[in-house]
Amino acid sequence: MQIIFGPVNSRRFGSSLGIDLSPQTKQCNFDCLYCELAPAQPVAKQNYVIPVDEIVNALYEHLNDEIDVITVTANGEPTLYPHLHELVRRIDALKGETKTLILTNAATLSEPDVFETLLLFDKVKLSLDAASAQTFKKIDRPQKDLHVEDIIRSMQRFSKEYRGELYIEVLFVKGINDSDTEILKLNEVLLGLHNITRVDIGTIDRPPAYPVEALSYEELHKIANMFDSSLPIHIASRIKSDNYSPRNYSKEEILNTLDKRPLTLEDIEILFDKESQKVLHELVSNGQIKTKKVGNLEFFLPSENFFRKRVKNS
Ligand code: SF4
């Protein structure tokens, strides 16, 4: 039974040491179509619970100064772990400068003790794959008492109170949650959240639990452009298109594209041909484009947008 894994070098969060709060078996309140674990009946609580001492001792053996972030996760949903509050307190006592991060599907955020516990983490990543009840049920196959309206309300409350780095992740599955209607609803929900550090959008990267299909990089790029330009959207998928041919952008097109959505260097290398990349670097040199660090990633955006505030939510 391996409680600690890594460290792995994650581009998004740096050097990350993982804690698996359900190493024996999958214990989750969802049974997502795209899950990389085998299908399993969703559960409301953990049946196999590891003692806190065992986790803390294992962490103590692996922790060192090179680790940027301790990532609390699970084969399933980490907030189902009944001693999460005590665990995060004990991690805080030994972690020094290292940050804590939890990856959660947000479904238990309406429970007051989970809400309070998540406020203690330095970084929180909440997943949200759908904004409508029908699509939510289809993609995430939740445990029967869970409703997306409650999850969204809790996310809104949490985003108001939380003072750490808040990340949102949306995973798109072909033909399930990628309709224009669903994306526009998700856009509205995201605009209603406060202080989002970054929104990572992605698709299936590993063999899924059920026979569903990933989107292409091009499709993700199109979706990214449908979100309001004030949202810090980042295409986080490891799927990079072999079929996508970088194209030539004029100076104006580069400024317009980055005005609509800031891009990372990795995005730029996929989307822009060599000539356009040269023009972009000239725009950086003459100050028309600046870079801005968001979490661990650096985004390129027009200088005049550097301090642009979100209109709907500021
Ligand atoms: S929330 Fe995560 S662990 Fe649970 S079913 Fe979905 S993908 Fe799998």
Has residue 130 got a pLDDT over 50?
yes
If asked whether residues 172 and 250 sit together in one domain, one would say: no
Judge if 97 and 178 occupy the same domain. Answer: yes
Which of 8-22, 103-117, 300-314 has the highest average model confidence (pLDDT)?
103-117
Instruction: Return the higher-pLDDT residue of 52 and 38.
Output: 52
- Backbone φ/ψ region at 215: left (φ over 0), alpha (ψ -120 to 50), beta: beta
Residue 43 pLDDT > 50, yes or no?
A: yes
In terms of Cβ atoms closer than 10 Å to its own Cβ (0-12, 13-18, 19+), residue 250 is exposed
Decide whether any atom of ligand 1 lies within 6 Å of the 77 Cβ. yes
45 and 192 inside one domain: yes
Can the peptide bond before residue 39 be classed as cis, meaning omega within 30 degrees of 0?
no
Write b or e for each residue in 69-80: b if 16 or more Cβ atoms lie within 10 A of its Cβ, otherwise e. Answer: bbbbbbbbbbbb
Tens-digit pLDDT profile for residues 61-79: 999 888 999 999 999 999 9
Residue 150 pLDDT: 97
Pocket test for ligand 1, best of 21, 26, 37 (most atoms within 8 A of CB): 37
By alpha-carbon position, which residue is closest to atom 7 of ligand 1? 35
Kindly state if the Cβ of 76 falls inside 6 Å of ligand 1. yes
Residues 130 and 264 in one domain: no
Quick check: 16 and 28 in contact, CB under 8 A? no
Tell me, yes or no, whether 60 and 103 share the same domain: yes
C-alpha of residue 82 to centroid of ligand 1, in Å? 18
Q: What is the CATH number of the domain that holds 304?
A: 1.10.10.10
For residue 4, what pLDDT is reported?
Answer: 94
Residue 238: predicted pLDDT: 61
Residues 297 and 291: beta-carbon distance below 8 Å: no
For the stretch 246-268, pLDDT in tens is 888 889 889 888 877 788 888 88
Question: Which of residues 240, 257, 274 is at a domain's end?
Answer: 240
Same-domain check for residues 211 and 259:
no
- CATH number, residue 202: 3.20.20.70
Same domain, 268 and 210: no
- Give residue 168's domain range: 4-240
Of 113, 200, 105, 109, nearest to 160 by C-alpha is 109
Pocket flag, ligand 1, residue 105 (CB < 6 Å): yes
Among the candidates 206, 240, 274, a domain finishes at 240
pLDDT at 7: 86
Q: Are residues 168 and 285 in the same domain?
A: no
Number of domains comprising the chain: 2
Same domain membership, residue 158 and residue 81: yes
Ligand 1 neighbourhood includes 68 CB (under 6 angstroms): no
pLDDT recorded at residue 272: 87
49 lies in the same domain as 161: yes
Whose CA is closest to atom 5 on ligand 1? 31
Q: What's the rounded Cα separation, in Å, for the pair 45 and 80? A: 5
The whole-number average pLDDT for the span 232-256 is 77
pLDDT score at 66: 87
Q: Does residue 187 share a domain with residue 260?
A: no
pLDDT in tens, 143-197: 999 999 999 999 999 999 999 999 999 999 999 999 999 999 999 999 999 999 9
Which atom of ligand 1 lies closest to the CA of 107? Answer: 1
- pLDDT bracket for residue 244 (50, 70, 90): low
**pTM higher than 0.85 for the full model?**
yes
Q: Which of 240, 272, 294 finishes a domain?
A: 240
Arithmetic mean of pLDDT over the chain: 91
Which of 28, 143, 176 is the pocket-test mutation for ligand 1 (most atoms within 8 Å of CB)? 28
Do 15 and 133 lie in a common domain?
A: yes
